[in-house]
Amino acid sequence: MAPETEVSVRPPGVRSGAAVRFEQVSIWFDDFQAVREVSLEVAPGELLCLLGPSGCGKSTLLSTLAGFLPTTSGSVTVDGRPVTAPGPELGMVFQSSEALFDWLPVRSNVTFGPRMRGVGRAERAAIADEYLGLVGLRHCADKMPDQLSGGMRQRVQIARVLANQPRVLLMDEPFGALDAQTRSVMQREMDRIRAATGCTVLFVTHDIGEAIVLADHIAVMTAGPAARIKSSYRVELPRPRDETSAEFVALQRALRRDIGDEVQAALRAQGLDPGEPDPGEPNPGEPGPS
């Protein structure tokens, strides 16, 4: 058997990632503005990291692209067509592996999308082999999700989404619940998965290191409410990325400063209104609420 790392999912020339465009997107929940006039562009096959403090509206933007949430104003388009509803073209990987179907073995989780489209049993078996191979889980096909580790479960989620040949992969802190070692393994795997599928990827994270390891583009968001894009960076470091290189560290410093400002702003806002709950994990080295 060929090593699993050599699996090529998409024959060359077949359609790959789509161009994603947010134009002046604002999102309101009743009288609360979550996102204000965000414009973003992601070229086909590129990976954009949305980086920002917890609760800033990153996931809200992603939900809009996934078709779960309408924009209040502005438009979200994939290859020029506005997103109106969720669908297999826009593959969503959730942070929690609660999103897996616990009553189905891994294999059937992966082929859920094809099954819904009426793909036959034999073809589904081939699909399961192919995509479980891609994420290195072919030996777990008949296991139940609760028999797998957290990292393996996220691989199943990725394989389940890829089995629909999505054009855009939406990842909402997919490795956020994993331990540091597993997270770093999964981050390295992303390069391989992207090379095999050609998907455009939107990746939400609040982890600066993760963003630099993965991204072609990083968009930093301001702390909500009414979050905007604060700054954006193009990352052109060679892959796999060396976390000790001078460029890596410099970028890390810049991002930390951007986000630090936002966390401080959030804490100041909180100081004015002490009734608010804790906004999340303050960065180490940042002053606490005064």
Which of 60, 64, 71, 97 touches another protein by CB under 8 A?
97
Taking the C-alpha atoms of residue 8 and residue 133, their distance in angstroms, rounded to an integer, is 10
Which of 107, 206, 217, 241 touches another protein by CB under 8 A?
206
Q: What is the DSSP letter of 227?
A: B
CB 127 within 8 A of CB 119: yes
Taking the C-alpha atoms of residue 126 and residue 9, their distance in angstroms, rounded to an integer, is 12
Smallest distance, Å, CB 53 to another protein? Answer: 10
Q: Among residues 182 and 247, whose Cβ is nearest to another protein?
A: 182
Residues in region 132-191 near another protein by CB under 8 A: 144, 146-150, 153, 160-161, 164, 173, 176-178
Which of 113, 133, 136, 282 touches another protein by CB under 8 A?
113
Report cis status (omega within 30 of 0) of the bond before 289: no
Total site size for another protein, rule CB under 8 A: 43
Q: Among residues 274 and 277, whose Cβ is nearest to another protein?
A: 277
Residue given tokens 């078996």 in the structure block: 125
What are φ and ψ of residue 110, in 5° steps?
Answer: -65, -35
Q: Does 99 bind another protein (CB under 8 A)?
A: yes
* Residues near 267 by beta carbon (within 8 Å), at least 6 away in sequence: 279, 282, 286, 287, 288, 289, 290
Contact positions vs another protein (CB under 8 A): 54-55, 59, 66-68, 86-88, 90-92, 94-104, 112-113, 116-117, 144, 146-150, 153, 160-161, 164, 173, 176-178, 206, 280
